[in-house]
Structure 1
């Protein structure tokens, strides 16, 4: 198995139960809601923040080469923009192309397996 895929699988197994456990009926979002769904459901906004934070941790662990030179907000943007594309019903090949562009930094481009693994990670975390 390709090493980043193995690391991604381990990261998802470790992170997703925590994402679910962090959901709370009394939670208050730490920042202002920026999307319509977040504005109507503060718990969803908090959960999305937790998912984005989990994505950053998983991404840095599984793809250190692609994470190099990126700060947390830049990695969070990869998650939120790709998730928005998925939720909008954008065709998968267009999501893949846009994600490849987001993952490219300078001369460093993701391999097709890396792009597929990141896309799978976003898709799983973006559901719900």
Structure 2
């Protein structure tokens, strides 16, 4: 089943430039945000929310079977929890294993290919702060 992976690729190419642009609009950013600050500022929290929202839209489009029965909060939790593990430096195999558990809902479980695709999607979207 290569359709979800092809769709994921298309969605990533469509969504990532917009997500990246949200973080690079230097002229319009608020003067209270410091780019050197490592703690979450309101701007980075907003960007993370934009990324989480973009992830939810992308996830629904690429994996309708896995998205079925989940609201946006549940889908964004998949993103934020997985992103936090990636950013904390957990080994990829442990993150993927935890992600597989997060993706399981009711009687639906993600295939290994779907889990890897979702992992890559999260890793790309959460790599930039």
TM-score (norm 1): 0.87
Residue by residue, what CA displacement relative to the aligned partner does 1:33-70 show, whole Å, maximum 9, x if unpaired? xxx832xx222111101100000000000000000000
Tell me how many residue pairs correspond in the alignment: 119
**Structure 1: tracts of 5 or more residues without a match:** 29-35
Distance in 2 (CA, whole Å) between partners of 1:15 and 1:27 is: 27
Describe how 1:1-128 pairs up with structure 2 within 5 A: 2-23=2-23, 24=25, 25-26=29-30, 37-38=39-40, 41-128=41-128
Alignment root-mean-square deviation, CA: 1.7
- Greater relative contact order structure (CA < 8 Å, 6+ sep): 2
Structure 2 distance, partners of 1:45, 1:106, is: 31
CA 1:88/1:65 → structure 2, altered by over 3 Å: closer, same or farther?
same
CA distance in 2, matches of 1:22, 1:125: 12
Question: Equivalents in 1 of 2:95, 2:107: separation in Å?
Answer: 21
Larger Rg: 2
TM-score norm. by structure 2 comes to 0.87
